[in-house]
Amino acid sequence: MTKVWSAVSPDLFQLKEWEGEGVLYLADSGDTHLLNQVGVQVLMILKDKPFELSELVEQLNQSIYPNSERITDNMISGVLTELYYLGVLTKVKS
């Protein structure tokens, strides 16, 4: 069984991005967090469509970072966990 990651309802957060970096506002807590480029891209992709980790990594490698060092599952799983604990992602088993 694999986990599919998805963003929570857009009513629960706001994301603003400039030149890769971004700021994330959480409606429930009122907290704001600074996101690096990978965090921003992960959240933007999952806002549009849920993905499994491997699919998400593929997306990032193909469309976002085609010319840079390859992103690995390990690099992204930490980002997913952080966003999950911030309350902007959910994971469901499929």
**Contacts to another protein by CB under 8 A:** 14, 16-19, 21-23, 25, 27, 30, 32, 34-35
Question: Which residues are CB-neighbours of 53 under 8 A, at least 6 positions away?
Answer: 2, 3, 5, 73, 76, 77, 80
Q: Which CB, 39 or 50, lies closer to another protein?
A: 39
Q: Which is nearer to another protein, 34 or 92 (CB)?
A: 34
Between CA 41 and CA 28 the distance in angstroms is: 22
Q: How many residues does the chain have?
A: 94
Choose between 26 and 53: whose C-beta lies nearer to another protein.
26
Those residues with Cβ within 8 angstroms of residue 36's Cβ, 6 or more apart along the chain or in another chain: 20, 21
Nearest distance in Å: CB 76, another protein: 20
CB of 92 to another protein, least distance (A): 27
